[in-house]
Amino acid sequence: MRTRIAVAGLAVLFSLAACGANDDPLSKDAGGGSSTSSSTVTIGSANFAESELLAEIYAQALEAKKVQVKRQFNIGARELYLKALQDGSIDLLPEYNGALLSALAKGGAPQGVTTPDQVLAELKKVLPSGTEVLEQSAAEDKDTLTVTSDTATKYNLKTIDDLKPVANQLTIGAGPEWQERYQGLKGLKELYGLQFKTFKPLDAGGPLTVNALVKNQIQVGNIFSTDSSIATNKFVVLDDPKNLYLAENIIPLIRSTSNNPTVSGALNAVSAKLTTENLTTYLAKVQVDKQDTAAVAKAFLSENGLS
Amino acid sequence: MNLNYLFDPAHWNLEDGSIPLLILSHLWYVVLALIIGTIIALPIGLYIGHTGRGSFLAINAGNAGRSLPTLGLLMLMVTLLGLGLTPVLIALTVLVIPPILTSAYAGMRSLDPRVVDAARGMGMRPWQVLTKVELPMALPVLISGFRSAALQVVATATVAAAVGLNGLGRLLIDGLAVNDYSRVLAGAIVVAVLAVLLDLVLALAQRWIVSPGLR
């Protein structure tokens, strides 16, 4: 019995070591698909509600212009869907200019680049070959430091700067990546001199973080600026006077082979109408009122004269 | 992906987030869940096996418990109770109960009824029949259930990291979040080795506890 288990243990170790020899497990063809016929535009999205809503809006805007569309939503995180875009499994995606720049630029986004125009200019330098971005919209969804209104009143907080004298009494919650990101704890320390009491690794602006804030298990949380939970729970978003967080304007990322005047015309018209306010409103219809994404996208397009 | 993270001595000191401390916190969740799960499941399993009553309930509750997704249950508990150790322990205990419950029941039912009858015929009281005859003879099956519970929970305790606790899941979740596959691999290997070691220890314990006549 004993030897059998030991042998099994060794086998496990060897097979793990064997997979250690390979490179990045995601580098293998993620989608496995070759590109579809050039007349069809395959639209992808990340695995969260806002990205899916935007992708659906793009899809219906293109369909209104008689472009053939295939939906390939809910793919996953940026690491995955960028590979799918590069191998041609998908042709078009809604993206965020700042986050995309941080992911593509070596060593993250260059410091000092924060406004939408600066970010777009830098982004165009690092886009993978064969892909391009169309016009960016005014709508932004960025990282924020958010507190409850009770916490804000108690410590008189309006900006991230105001946290400085009290940060050592507060617990901050965010996605685990914040521990190592410049746009996380590192930047908060370097730029604002903040040293929090503890860091709780939770989810990226998701329900865990919201819940922990409401229950006061964390006092400061990373919530995305278009999240309807900010209004629902009367959270206070702290201003970022030193621009730690990049601009995060929504922008269509497309394979050059799928780009033509009809497609870019339809998508640029969408970008022209998108604002942070209307995106927040329509996203709340999906997240709070639990309406169907396709119906919400349709309502957005018809109310903005795009259908 | 490589083994650099695992073999970097800086990750084996005793500072916050080092591998030895993560192993300790991981084992702490495992041991707590096993203790609570055994306290709940063992008496019920033994009672059902001893009396033969409620076996329908035992089997179905066991199977239903097995099919509950731990991560989903954990998220539900966190939504209801907030962050902390309690929701994690509830989710892991639900995982521990089915194998222990069903193996206690199965162990008791697998006994030769003539042996139990003989024990009764010798004038043993029900309590004596249970502790001196049924329980020792059911031990091999019972311990194998406990071992499978321990293996499952050692692998699944990684979910604790998904709700801000420690444990070896920290290596997996933090590694995935920052694209550090070397760290993910280190977490996977340590969990696998820990599971094998724990099973070895329990196998030795089984040898020591079970009566030589039953081997």
- Interatomic CA distance for residues A99 and A143, integer angstroms: 10
Nearest CA to CA, how far is A249 from chain B (Å)? 22
The answer to whether residues A95 and A252 touch, using CB atoms and an 8 Å cutoff, is yes
Among A7-11, A24-28, A226-230, B175-179, top mean pLDDT goes to A226-230
B12 touches chain A (CB under 8 A): no
Least confident window among A99-103, A213-217, A257-261: A99-103
Helices and strands (H and E) in chain A: how many: 12, 10
Residue A132: phi and psi, rounded to 5, are -150, 165
B209 touches chain A (CB under 8 A): no
CB distance A176–B178 less than 8 Å?
yes
End-to-end CA distance of chain B: 45
- Interatomic CA distance for residues A123 and B154, integer angstroms: 44
Residue B4: inside a domain, yes or no?
no
CB distance B199–A5 less than 8 Å?
yes
The CATH topology of domain A143-238 is D-Maltodextrin-Binding Protein; domain 2 (3.40.190)
The answer to whether residues A78 and A100 touch, using CB atoms and an 8 Å cutoff, is yes
CB distance B181–A5 less than 8 Å?
no
B177 touches chain A (CB under 8 A): yes
DSSP A27-45: GS-SS-PPP--TTEEEEEE
**Which tokens go with A272?**
């022209």
Residue B169: inside a domain, yes or no?
yes
Model confidence at A17, pLDDT cuts 50, 70, 90, reads very low
Three-point CA angle B26, B32, B38, nearest 5°: 130
Closest alpha carbon to B36 in B77, B96, B80:
B96
Give the nearest partner residue to B83 out of A175, A176, A217, using CB atoms.
Answer: A217
- Interatomic CA distance for residues A127 and A201, integer angstroms: 31
Model confidence at A130, pLDDT cuts 50, 70, 90, reads very high
pLDDT at A284 over 80: yes
- Interatomic CA distance for residues B171 and B185, integer angstroms: 8
Question: So what's the ipTM on this one?
Answer: 0.71
Interaxial angle between packed helices A276-287 and A293-303, expressed in degrees from 0 to 180 and rounded to the nearest 10:
150
Give the strands of the sheet with A198-201, arranged side by side.
Answer: A198-201, A171-174, A220-224, A143-147, A236-238
CATH code at position B171 = 1.10.3720.10
CB distance A212–B203 less than 8 Å?
no
Closest alpha carbon to B104 in B201, B38, B203, B31:
B38
Q: What is the pLDDT of residue A287?
A: 85
CB distance B79–A19 less than 8 Å?
no
B1 touches chain A (CB under 8 A): yes
pLDDT at B9 over 60: yes
Q: Is A237 helix (H, G, I), strand (E, B) or coil?
A: strand
B104 touches chain A (CB under 8 A): no
Best residue of A23, A203, A222, A229 to probe chain B, by most B CBs closer than 10 Å: A203
Least confident window among A19-23, B85-89, B210-214: A19-23
Locate the chain B residue with the closest alpha carbon to A198. Answer: B164
pLDDT at B180 over 90: no
CB distance B161–A13 less than 8 Å?
no
B71 touches chain A (CB under 8 A): no
The answer to whether residues B19 and B12 touch, using CB atoms and an 8 Å cutoff, is yes
**pLDDT tens column, B121-152:** 999 998 898 888 988 999 999 999 999 999 99
**Which tokens go with A214?**
């409401």
Q: What is the pLDDT of residue A163?
A: 94
For chain B, the average pLDDT equals 90
Best residue of A3, A19, A182, A211 to probe chain B, by most B CBs closer than 10 Å: A211
pLDDT at A171 over 90: yes
Q: Do domains A40-140+248-303 and A143-238 have the same CATH topology?
A: yes
The answer to whether residues A205 and A227 touch, using CB atoms and an 8 Å cutoff, is yes
CB distance A5–B83 less than 8 Å?
no
For chain A, the average pLDDT equals 85
Nearest CA to CA, how far is B186 from chain A (Å)? 10
Model confidence at A28, pLDDT cuts 50, 70, 90, reads very low
Q: How far is CA A18 from CA A13, A23, B36, in A?
A: 8, 11, 38
Residue found by looking up tokens 């125009």 in the block: A117
CB distance A212–B164 less than 8 Å?
yes
Least confident window among A23-27, A166-170, B81-85, B147-151: A23-27
Q: What is the pLDDT of residue A33?
A: 40
The answer to whether residues A91 and A31 touch, using CB atoms and an 8 Å cutoff, is no
Give the nearest partner residue to B173 out of A9, A22, A176, using CB atoms.
Answer: A176
B81 touches chain A (CB under 8 A): no
Q: What is the pLDDT of residue B67?
A: 84
Which superfamily does CATH assign the domain made up of A40-140+248-303 to?
Periplasmic binding protein-like II (3.40.190.10)
Locate the chain B residue with the closest alpha carbon to A8. Answer: B196
Least confident window among A1-5, A49-53, A302-306: A1-5
Q: What is the pLDDT of residue A30?
A: 39
DSSP state of A181: -
Average pLDDT over residues A114-124: 91
- Element of type H or E holding A147: strand A143-147
B69 touches chain A (CB under 8 A): no
pLDDT at A56 over 50: yes
B189 touches chain A (CB under 8 A): yes
Average pLDDT over residues A157-162: 94
Q: What pTM does this model have? A: 0.73
The upper half-sphere exposure of residue A235, i.e. CA atoms within 13 Å in the direction of its Cβ, equals 31
Closest alpha carbon to B145 in B10, B46, B15:
B46
Q: What is the pLDDT of residue B1?
A: 67
The upper half-sphere exposure of residue A31, i.e. CA atoms within 13 Å in the direction of its Cβ, equals 24
Q: What is the pLDDT of residue A94?
A: 96
CB-based contacts of B122, cutoff 8 Å, min separation 6: none
CB-based contacts of A306, cutoff 8 Å, min separation 6: A61, A64, A266, A269, A270, A273, A300
Better-predicted residue by pLDDT, A71 or A10: A71
Residue found by looking up tokens 């394979």 in the block: A255
Average pLDDT over residues A89-114: 86
Model confidence at B57, pLDDT cuts 50, 70, 90, reads confident
Give the nearest partner residue to B82 out of A5, A181, A217, using CB atoms.
Answer: A217
Structural domain boundaries, residue B154: 15-214
Where are the domains positioned within chain A? Answer: 40-140+248-303, 143-238
pLDDT at A205 over 90: no
The answer to whether residues B38 and B127 touch, using CB atoms and an 8 Å cutoff, is no
Q: What is the pLDDT of residue A15?
A: 47
Residues of A with CB under 8 A from a CB of B: 1-2, 5-6, 8-9, 12-13, 16-17, 19-20, 22-25, 79, 173, 175-177, 179-181, 200-202, 207-208, 211-212, 215, 217
Average pLDDT over residues A284-290: 89
**Which tokens go with A180?**
């190592």
CB distance B161–A200 less than 8 Å?
no
**pLDDT tens column, A225-282:** 888 889 889 999 999 988 888 889 999 999 999 999 999 999 999 999 999 989 999 9
- Total domains in the fold of chain B: 1
